[in-house]
Amino acid sequence: MDRTAIMKKLGLQGFNKPKRTPSHPKKSHVVMSKEGDKTKLIRFGEQGASVAGKPKAGESERMKAKRKSFKARHARNIAKGKMSAAWWADKVKW
């Protein structure tokens, strides 16, 4: 199956446009990542994770610590860029 057929099947709007996958058993998001002429289907994020999300006004210190820990723990993989699940999780969820 070619990339455009896969994207259509998953309901993706285009390359580098993540989408939630509520029916997937483990991963919360999917994206067809494209960098140059390389493409890769990436599933990322823990399904049902209640602590992930963008910073909110009045956020607790505990949540700030969780965010900081995630970024520190995955820093090496985040640095790999768009072709890594960690980069997408950092951008979309954390």
Mean pLDDT of 34-63: 83
Inter-residue contact 50 to 62 (CB < 8 Å): no
Inter-residue contact 45 to 94 (CB < 8 Å): no
pLDDT bracket for residue 47 (50, 70, 90): confident
pLDDT of residue 3: 85
pLDDT bracket for residue 51 (50, 70, 90): low
pLDDT tens per residue across span 4-25 = 899 999 999 999 999 999 999 9
Torsion, CA 89, CA 40, CA 26, CA 86, rounded to 10: -20
Mean pLDDT of 32-54: 86
pLDDT bracket for residue 54 (50, 70, 90): low
Q: How far apart are CA 20 and CA 33, in angstroms?
A: 15
Mean pLDDT of 26-34: 95
